[in-house]
């Protein structure tokens, strides 16, 4: 009953606030999609179709007031191209009916991502979106981590509903959002210093080790590799790398001493190297599924259709059922190539490459001399968190067919939003400084009727010049 009251206390005021403010509508839509309150409550609210309701409340008034989904940022263009490649793949689709269902899903997801780019236009809004995305999934993961500690090594065989339904997906989703907590600049959301700000900050930082235990509790080998890569990249992104690595090693040693890892977990991790000797089909089958996916992409340059690897598997299975029928590809990267061909794979890897470069540029802008300390911290921490999240997916996604999960695409949206914001933040102080210098020059100007206020020099590219034809004709 208490769960239901808490959810209703968020849903009802949030709905009415969403009617008045498009950013609130975006936040409520993201919260409902990722937290999935309908699976957490004791009463059934699925018939209300609140996800669709929040989507309409977000989209229709936004379009009516001129707030259109961003379609100009390179990452937004990449999303449009990815959607286009999925439509093109329908030409050779094995099950077109499945493809159109997922194209519809992708279209709605991309609309939300591009509206996120448009609406997340201030530093406060950036922190709010990070908090909602990280907190919605992080709440469940932190709770699972606490259960792992209290239960003496509880194992989680299942995940959350939605994209992260099994233990492997749960582990990967947790890795992708857990370090977003490190980018929580709570002074942006709660300007007044006090207990609320302090407890929010502590809660987000405490969620990181708890999420780590949740990943361990899934017994996912892919999750372990994803977590290891994400933590390593996160440490290497810090200003004092050696100190950060030493601190991480000390914390891990202390935590393992207090909460020892179950023997069955360490034995499972050892099979990463010994799976051939022990003959474990789960690991042995992965390379075969990847080869089948590559063969699909080579035989169908435009792909076999969105989410149709399973339907086409038996046709390309060169081991003739050795590992079963209609199997999953177990790799997001091979999934894209098999289902969307060369064009889809090119766009897919291009999105990650461009997003990574954008994050590095955001990091570089965080050192801009005219930025305040708070703005510099915001850009630095958000860039690091986004880079870490993408690293976790690139590694962990190599073992799961989760190319269409919400968090990856929302990450691209967050990168685009922070990229646009960082450009404005660096441009504003420079413009303000130029204006101040002009005002000071005017204030100290000689009191003479012949004095002319100096005007800022016009850049060469914008100066008015005579046309080449006039010069050639000798008319000047």
Q: Are 371 and 329 in contact (CB under 8 A)?
A: no
Report the share of the chain in percent with pLDDT over 70: 87
* Helix runs in 153-240, H state only: 167-178, 186-189, 195-217, 221-236
Mean pLDDT of 254-270: 79
pTM of the predicted protein model = 0.87
* pLDDT mean across residues, the chain: 86
Give backbone dihedrals phi and psi of 320, rounded to 5 degrees, phi first: 55, 55
Q: Is 456 left (phi over 0), alpha (psi -120 to 50) or beta?
A: beta
Residue 385 scores a pLDDT above 90: yes
Tell me the pLDDT tens digit for each residue of 162-204: 778 888 999 999 999 988 876 667 777 676 677 777 888 888 8
Q: How far apart are CA 346 and CA 420, in angstroms?
A: 24
Count the Cβ atoms, other than its own, within 10 Å of residue 206: 14
Q: Are 231 and 252 in contact (CB under 8 A)?
A: no
Return the SS3 of 117.
helix
Q: How far apart are CA 208 and CA 78, in angstroms?
A: 31
Q: How far apart are CA 89 and CA 96, in angstroms?
A: 9
Q: How far apart are CA 99 and CA 76, in angstroms?
A: 22
Binned at pLDDT 50, 70 and 90, residue 428 comes out as: confident
For tokens 């263009």, the residue is: 77
Extents of the domains making up the chain: 1-66, 68-431
Tell me the pLDDT tens digit for each residue of 81-112: 999 999 999 998 999 999 999 999 999 999 99
Residue 114 scores a pLDDT above 50: yes
Q: How far apart are CA 412 and CA 106, in angstroms?
A: 14
Q: Are 70 and 76 in contact (CB under 8 A)?
A: yes
Residue 5 in tokens: 């009251």
Tell me the pLDDT tens digit for each residue of 119-166: 999 999 999 999 999 999 999 999 999 998 888 888 887 777 777 888
Return the SS3 of 160.
coil
Residues near 65 by beta carbon (within 8 Å), at least 6 away in sequence: 22
Determine the pLDDT at residue 264. Answer: 84
Q: How far apart are CA 404 and CA 163, in angstroms?
A: 8
Residues near 52 by beta carbon (within 8 Å), at least 6 away in sequence: none
Q: How far apart are CA 112 and CA 295, in angstroms?
A: 34
Residue 313 scores a pLDDT above 70: yes
Give the torsion sign (CA, 392, 397, 399, 405).
positive
Residue 269 scores a pLDDT above 50: yes
Tell me the pLDDT tens digit for each residue of 3-60: 888 899 999 999 999 999 999 999 999 999 999 998 888 888 888 899 999 999 999 9
Residue 233 scores a pLDDT above 50: yes
Of 297, 269, 295, 294, the residue nearest 283 (C-alpha): 269
Determine the pLDDT at residue 164. Answer: 85
Determine the pLDDT at residue 275. Answer: 61
Q: Rounded to the nearest 10 degrees, what angle do helices 373-396 and 406-443 cross at?
A: 160
Tell me the C-alpha to C-alpha distance, in Å, between residue 468 and each of 308, 459, 463, 465, 474.
Answer: 59, 20, 15, 9, 10
Determine the pLDDT at residue 129. Answer: 93
Of 348, 351, 347, the residue nearest 331 (C-alpha): 348
Which of 124 and 472 is assigned the larger pLDDT?
Answer: 124
3-state helix, strand, coil split of the chain in percent (to 5) is 75, 0, 25
CA angle 190, 133, 29 (to 5 degrees): 100
Q: How far apart are CA 419 and CA 137, in angstroms?
A: 24
Binned at pLDDT 50, 70 and 90, residue 438 comes out as: low
Tell me the pLDDT tens digit for each residue of 338-381: 999 999 999 999 999 999 999 999 999 999 988 988 899 999 99
Beta-ladder partners of 166: 158
Count the Cβ atoms, other than its own, within 10 Å of residue 403: 24
Determine the pLDDT at residue 476. Answer: 42
């Amino acid at each position: 009953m208490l769960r239901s009251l808490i959810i209703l206390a968020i849903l009802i005021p949030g709905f009415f606030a969403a009617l008045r403010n498009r950013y609130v509508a975006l936040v409520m839509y993201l919260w409902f999609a990722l937290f999935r309150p309908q699976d957490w409550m004791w009463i059934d609210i699925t018939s209300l179709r609140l996800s669709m309701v929040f989507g309409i409340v977000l989209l229709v008034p936004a379009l009516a007031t001129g707030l259109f989904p961003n379609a100009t940022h390179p990452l937004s263009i990449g999303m449009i191209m990815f959607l286009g490649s999925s439509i093109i793949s329908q030409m050779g689709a094995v099950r077109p009916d499945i493809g159109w269902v997922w194209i519809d899903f992708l279209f709605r997801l991309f609309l939300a991502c591009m509206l996120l780019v448009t609406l997340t236009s201030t530093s406060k809004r950036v922190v709010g979106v990070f908090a909602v995305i990280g907190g919605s999934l992080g709440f469940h993961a932190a709770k699972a981590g606490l259960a792992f500690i209290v239960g003496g090594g509880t194992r989680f065989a299942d995940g959350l509903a939605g994209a992260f339904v099994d233990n492997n997906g749960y582990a990967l989703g947790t890795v992708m959002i857990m370090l977003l907590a490190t980018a929580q600049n709570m002074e942006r959301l709660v300007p007044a210093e006090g207990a609320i700000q302090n407890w929010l900050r502590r809660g987000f930082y405490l969620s990181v080790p708890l999420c780590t235990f949740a990943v361990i509790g899934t017994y996912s080998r892919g999750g372990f590799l994803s977590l290891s890569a994400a933590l390593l990249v996160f440490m290497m992104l810090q200003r004092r790398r050696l100190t950060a690595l030493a601190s991480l090693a000390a914390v891990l040693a202390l935590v393992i001493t207090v909460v020892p890892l179950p023997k069955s977990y360490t034995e499972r991790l050892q099979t990463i190297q010994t799976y051939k000797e022990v003959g474990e089909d789960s690991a042995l089958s992965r390379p075969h599924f990847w080869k089948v996916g590559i063969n699909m992409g080579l035989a169908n340059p435009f792909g076999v259709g969105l989410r149709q690897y399973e339907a086409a598997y038996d046709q390309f299975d060169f081991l003739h059922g050795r590992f079963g029928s209609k199997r999953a590809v177990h790799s997001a990267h091979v999934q894209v190539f098999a289902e969307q061909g060369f064009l889809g794979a090119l766009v897919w890897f291009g999105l990650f490459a461009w997003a990574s470069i954008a994050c590095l540029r955001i990091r570089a802008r965080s050192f801009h001399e005219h930025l305040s300390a708070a703005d510099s911290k915001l850009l630095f921490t958000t860039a690091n968190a986004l880079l870490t999240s993408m690293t976790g997916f690139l590694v962990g996604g190599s073992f799961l067919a989760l190319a269409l999960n919400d968090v990856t695409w929302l990450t691209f949206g967050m990168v685009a939003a922070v990229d646009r914001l960082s450009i404005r933040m660096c441009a504003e102080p420079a413009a303000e400084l130029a204006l101040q210098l002009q005002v000071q020059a005017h204030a100290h100007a000689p009191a003479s009727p012949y004095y002319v206020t100096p005007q800022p020099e016009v850049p060469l590219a914008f100066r008015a010049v005579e046309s080449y034809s006039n010069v050639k004709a000798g008319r000047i």
